[in-house]
Amino acid sequence: MDTAEIRRRFTDHFERNGHTLVPSASLLLDDPNLLFVNAGMVPFKPYFLGQETAPYARATSVQKCVRTLDIEEVGKTTRHGTFFQMCGNFSFGDYFKEGAIRLAWELITGPVDSGGLGFDPELIWVTVLPSDDEARELWHTVAGLPYERIQDRGLEDNYWNMGVPGPGGPCSEIYVDRGPEFGPDGGPNADEDRFLEIWNLVFMQEELSAVRSKADFDVAGPLPARNIDTGLGLERVAYLLQGKQNMYEIDEVFPVIERAAELTGRAYGADAGDDVRFRVVADHVRSALMLIGDGVTPGNEGRGYVLRRLLRRAVRSMRLLGHEERALPELLPVSLAKMKLGYPQLEADFERISRVAYAEEDAFRKTLAAGTQIFDVAAGEVKQTGETTLSGAKAFALHDTYGFPIDLTLEMAAEQGLAVDEQGFRSLMAEQRARAKADAKSKKGQHADTSVYRGVLDANGPTQWLAYETLETESAPVALLSGGARVEALREGEVGELVLDRTPFYAESGGQAADAGWIEFDGGRLEVVDVQRPVKGLVVHRVRVAEGELALGAAGAGALQARVDPQWRIGARQAHSGTHVVHAALREVLGPTALQSGSYNRPGYLRLDFGWTQSLSPDQLRDVEQVANQALRADLPVAWQYMTLPEARDWGALALFGETYDESQVRVVEIGGRWSRELCGGTHVDHSSQIGTVVVTGESSVGSGNRRIEAFTGVEGFAYLARERDVVAELTGLLKTQPDDLVGRVGDLVDRLRSTERELDRLRVAQLLAAAGSVADAASDVGGVAVVAHRVDGAGGSDVRTLALDVRNRLASDRPGVVVVVGVADGKVAVVAAVNEAGQARGLKAGDLVKTLGPILGGRGGGKADVAQGGGSDVARVDEALAAVPAAVAGVAGG
């Protein structure tokens, strides 16, 4: 049974039993605790936490997931994968333990010809929390399981919570016996390789007030409504039903291994070490495909770093398997061919996905080349000291700073007869992971405490939001808050939060800044400084009391006038519509794969992030600006309408990566019909000409594979152009030329300046060399060695090197000679040592001399025996350093 069929059977089973099918959310959700969605229940967290009311009593989904803690284990076990799919069924205050157990049992043991998965009931084992007698009895009575196949497990295994205060409850895990060839008998408590967990049923029934660890928490009491959350691992079920040994051999993954084997000429199954690498390749290529598909681009931190690591581990593994050519163009399309069956949007977006992935592989190949050079230097330094082990610190620096994998460091060290302090490297890696874990832990609990807002919403209903219809409303205060708690009044000068029964203010969302304005009442005035939606349906105004005192229940507070600043709203509408116009212009100039990955706009200003692997040329920027302004001149109509999410996709509307949309109703904004269609909840102009102008001011990188374009609109755009005009006018006045001739005139001045600088450099070098003769004549004799130790003020590194070499050449060639020149310029010290052949024959080395002077000057340096250079920062000790030269020479040559 292939994976797609298992997925279909799961959702069909639960739809037949009254569940609403919810499509997989993006792997990226706005959650401070998560880099990626890592469990099937994550998109439903607002319902479980009570932040929102679930729109259905029962739901089912097959959710894309990524877990990053197991990256190092990928390929080594049968069940660790970075990307996986979690099948789940959820009940929000509807059925509970009996329903969950019955529905799970019917699916896993139901006959294949009746839509079930067909597992032999005699091979099923389950675990329960020791105190959960109810679940134990239900498994016995509903499923008919004998008590000996219902095993107890403690809180660590069979109790679920989020790691923060909130819902929790016991869980029950379902296992399949794979047979005696996989391990000893005795159920999951005896061996988890033989008895493989496929499904976890979570019974949310308690409210936790404190969570100190998975097994240490405080229970405040029962939940108001008991919920069900289950998760079945699709890949695990697939490899059991397909008769495979592990998840890497299922139909969605193994074709990548087959192609990798063809490319490398090595057979899968012939060598244990190679098999791990093949599995790493297959898992990471699939994971990267899914991550890029959801808008992640490679970078040096967060989600981008995870993707970069996955891609580089895949490329590195192919290299260790013997394939040193580009690998991803051969492997990524193979993964696409299988994954598009479940996620057809991948095929439509593959041009963008592949461009991001291939660019990262090319960058890594350059890193490998540069890292090899850095490794050679490090290895050379180790050999010079007579050591045979590369330190863990150097191996870690190669890995952490340059992205050079430890496996390659080990391989190349062995080729040069060196060992690597792996223990030291692992220790530093563990410290880094501990810091990352501590950082992640410090962010735990950042689920905003929305209980006070939820209480306001439950008591008063949703805010009547009129931002699309009007700039002014007569409103009544519903609640006042300060410091996260409800208060009865806000006094003059205080800052707090105000909830109104109705409001014209736009709450920050979709990249658009919140409206500004005023709320007035009898005897007072509030300045609106921010507007947010902490829970769905509730609009909260952050206000500063400019005049008077606002008290709930006071006569003067009965009617408030809420007024949006009209100029602010005009600018905001221009900027938001301008963002859509720039996005459409980018796609027209660069192609359909230039998709927005984020945006921000405020009155008169916009920035738009989009997936692209290289900087835009000046011509491309001008083209984008020109296309945008042509759209403004065409006075394109701007319209919006509501439809279901599937309808919007069929209509060609673009959705922002990582955003979660209501399936039943989305707002589609179009400019010029099909030219620009996007899902958007922002405020917009009625015709494109009302944007005024679009002035592109810059384009920059915001991470590998992601660019940012910035622009001004409306009055702010014209003001920017006016400033540019003023600059041109001032320059033409200073240079006494016409605007059309300005560029040529400035170019001439730059050429003359460069020519003058070159002449000055030539004169300075000539002056230095003119003094070389007298410097050489002043050489002292140290044990038969001619020694020059000379200071030059105002000379940098290249000048110092030129002088040192010239002085050395002027010394007698048949007599040992040493030249050390120290230059001082701009508070920095440059040191160059030069030793002639006769001096080298006496054992004198330029590199050793520089290393001797480095600590005195507060710096370091090194080089070869004939020439070496270094630097420092302690100008006050230059003379002391020069005085040390004769002693250093004497220590080697005698005298």
CA 785 from centroid of its chain's CA atoms: 60
What DSSP character marks residue 184? Answer: -
List, as residue ranges, the binding site for Zn(2+): 576, 580, 680, 684
Q: What is the 3-state secondary structure (H, E, C) of 463-489?
A: CEECCCCCCEEEECEEEEEECCEEECE
Task: Count how many residues are written for the chain.
Answer: 895
Residue positions forming the annotated binding site: 576, 580, 680, 684
The secondary structure of residue 380, as a DSSP letter, is H
430: number of Cβ within 10 Å: 10
Of 85, 117, 148, nearest to 10 by C-alpha is 117
| Nearest-angstrom CA–CA distance, 390 and 404 | 14
Both structure tokens of 491 = 């006094």
Q: Which strand (E) or helix (H) includes residue 65?
A: strand 58-66
Residue with tokens 């880099």: 35
DSSP 8-state assignment for residue 113: G
CB 140 within 8 A of CB 150: yes
- Phi, psi (degrees; rounded to nearest 5) at 516: -110, 160
Backbone angles phi, psi at 499, to 5 degrees: -110, 130
Local structure of residue 19 (DSSP, 8 states): P
Pair type for strands 605-611 and 472-475:
unpaired
For 604, phi then psi, to 5°, come to 85, -5
Distance CA 385, CA 187 (A): 57
Taking phi over 0 as left and psi of -120 to 50 as alpha, with beta for the rest, 800 belongs to alpha
Round to whole Å and give the CA distance between 221 and 544. 39
Joined tokens for residue 470: 């009007």
Contact 346, 293 (CB under 8 A): yes
Tokens of 157: 């295994």
DSSP labels, 615-680: PPPHHHHHHHHHHHHHHHHTT-BEEEEEE-HHHHHHTT-B--TT----SS-EEEEEETGGGEEEE-
One DSSP character per residue, 189-237 reads TT-TTTEEEEEEEEEEEEEEEEEEETTEEEEEEEEEEEEEEEEEEHHHH
Tokens of 336: 């696409």
SS3 520: strand
Of 517, 516, 84, 73, which Cα lies nearest the Cα of 342? 84
